Amino acid sequence: MLPTTDKPVLTTDVSTAPSVKPRFDDIFMDLAVNLAKRSHCIKAQVGAVLTRDTRIISIGYNGPPAGTHNCDEEFPGVGCPRDSKGSCSLALHAEQNAILYAAKNGSEIEGSTIYVTLSPCIACARIIYSMKIARVVFLNSYAEYKGIPSDEGVDFLRRFGVTVERYVSSSGASVGADLPITQPTP
């Protein structure tokens, strides 16, 4: 007979299946999707998470520079003015916000991974490449959103050796399906 103690006994039932831990890709993309919901843009809400070695070094979402205005408040219903390509003329992209914040705070960016809810445009791709980000994981296609033939940013990054992957959920769930991404008005 075993002696009894007042201490609780921890047991592990090995007959049950172990709990499945989420992949970091799932965790970081889920965070990017939730960050996108912070955006004040009425056309597209985009989030980004910049990571290094399974640690978050910066986050961002699309919107005008801090301290300026919020598009949905200043331009309700129509959004802010558009540039010649139909993009917001006032906002920073989610990737830009995440990278700028990391650089401003002295984080080591080289060799990092960035998770974005919309594949990088060509301008963001140039910044990602210049900052020596090693891997990009995206949820939705910028080309599909813009109605253009190819993801120029993705093509550029791959051409110069950056690993770019379209995110696939390990659970098969439709992550980010509720993010507002509307076709830009001409």
pLDDT tens digit sequence for 118-161: 999 999 999 999 999 999 999 999 999 888 999 999 999 999 99
Q: Catalytic: 73?
A: no
β-partners of residue 164 are 136
Beta strands in the chain (DSSP E): 47-52, 55-61, 113-118, 135-140, 163-166
Q: How do residues 43-52 score in pLDDT, each as one tens digit?
A: 889 999 999 9
pLDDT in the model for residue 184: 45
Q: How many CA atoms lie within 13 A of 103 on its CB side?
A: 13
Tokens of 82: 């558009």
Q: Is the pLDDT of residue 20 over 60?
A: yes
**Model confidence over 94-121: pLDDT tens digits?**
999 999 999 999 999 999 999 999 999 9
Residue 55 CB partners (closer than 8 Å, separation 6+):
none
- Which among 95, 108, 152, 165 is annotated as catalytic? 95
pTM, two decimals, is: 0.81
> Which structural domains are found in the chain, ordered by start?
31-166 (3.40.140.10)
What is d(CA 90, CA 2) in angstroms, rounded to the nearest whole number? 72
